[in-house]
Amino acid sequence: MRAKQDKIGRRGGQGELELLRQIRSRTARAAANGVRLGIGDDCALLSPRPSEELAVTTDLSIAGRHFRLDWHPPEVVGHRVLARGLSDIAAMGARPVAAFLSLGLPRELTVSTGRRRAWIERFYDGLLALADAHKTLLAGGDLAESPVALADIVLVGAVPRGRALLRSGAQPGDLLYVTGSLGGAAGGLARLGTLSAAPNNSHREPVIPKKMQPLLAAHLFPQPRVAQGLWLQQRGLATAALDLSDGLSTDLAHLCEESKVAAEVDAHALPVHPTATLDQALHGGEDYELLFTVPPTARLPRAIAGVPVTRIGCILRRRPSNPAIMLVTPEGSQPLEPHGWEHFC
């Protein structure tokens, strides 16, 4: 997308140069809120308001580990790559400003054959649709030939100075909340795995039957909770927050570690996704919901920007002799050990 991205173009001839031009023109159309200079120079230039600081995150997705070319259509890969980054921005209570994408692709994924559009074009369809929905400009990146498909996404968000939601502010007595529902991504992934008969990691595109798609939506098209994170930040309600990328048991352990507290989760209260098991809700990754804490006196609505929020437990004082997280069930309490997401390998 910058000059360096001409490399594939130079080698590949006019077809791919044309593709890069198309990407550039598609991204130039997007709203440029806070982006003074996008694709085309050595760097992009971001101009936050003087009262803002910038939140930056990077997420690397590699075929065979974070996605599979034989399981995930290209639009889904593009959506999921950007959703990972946007979810980190949401977890800080920031507004997304710009994304940068480094893409490494086998040659065959960059060329169109006959009437079939190239994999890379459809990948951008998925990525740019989600970017548009969150007013995020694709402001730069890099493109190179690679033996394995990979995408590294960088997201930059803006947040008023000193107001970002951190993992480190939870206090004993705070209440523990989650947006949306849990386990849907893991449930969908388990179903998706039963569909594929293609050999592992082949480039053959998957066919997902229409009637299956609603059951898989939480996995295929996770929705980063940007509006919900902003809502919490603007009202100063949350004492700590993070996004559920590795699974509740793992991510809650991160929150407890950074805040130096313990936590109790009420199994009965968990908003388990209709397609998921309790185990998937506790340990399944990639739901990209927000996990956050509020003081006991805070009053929360039932839904924030259209997404339900559910109280699932509370924050306790940490005692070295006790487990960091306890799961409360009708049969009694038991330690909840981190047992998060292991992807495909």
Which tokens in the block code for residue 250?
């793992």
Entry field: residues in the chain? 345
Min CB(58)–a second copy separation in Å:
5
Min CB(116)–a second copy separation in Å:
25
Whichever of 54 and 190 has its CB closer to a second copy, that residue is 54
Whichever of 221 and 344 has its CB closer to a second copy, that residue is 344
Whichever of 19 and 242 has its CB closer to a second copy, that residue is 242
Residue 134, H or E segment: none
Min CB(154)–a second copy separation in Å:
5
Whichever of 191 and 201 has its CB closer to a second copy, that residue is 201
Whichever of 30 and 208 has its CB closer to a second copy, that residue is 30
Min CB(203)–a second copy separation in Å:
15
Q: Which residues of 148-157 are buried (b: 16+ CB within 10 A; e: fewer)?
A: ebbbbbbbbb
Cβ neighbours of residue 330 closer than 8 Å, sequence gap 6 or more: 268
- The whole-angstrom separation of Cα 246 and Cα 279 is 13
Question: How far is residue 28 from each of residues 7, 39, 302, measured CA to CA in Å?
Answer: 21, 8, 38
Min CB(87)–a second copy separation in Å:
8
Min CB(34)–a second copy separation in Å:
9
The DSSP result for 47-90, as a single string, is ---TTEEEEEEEEEEEBTTTB-TTTS-HHHHHHHHHHHHHHHHH
- Reported in sequence order, the residue ranges of 231-294 that DSSP labels E, i.e. its strands, are 240-243, 262-266, 290-294
Whichever of 6 and 205 has its CB closer to a second copy, that residue is 6
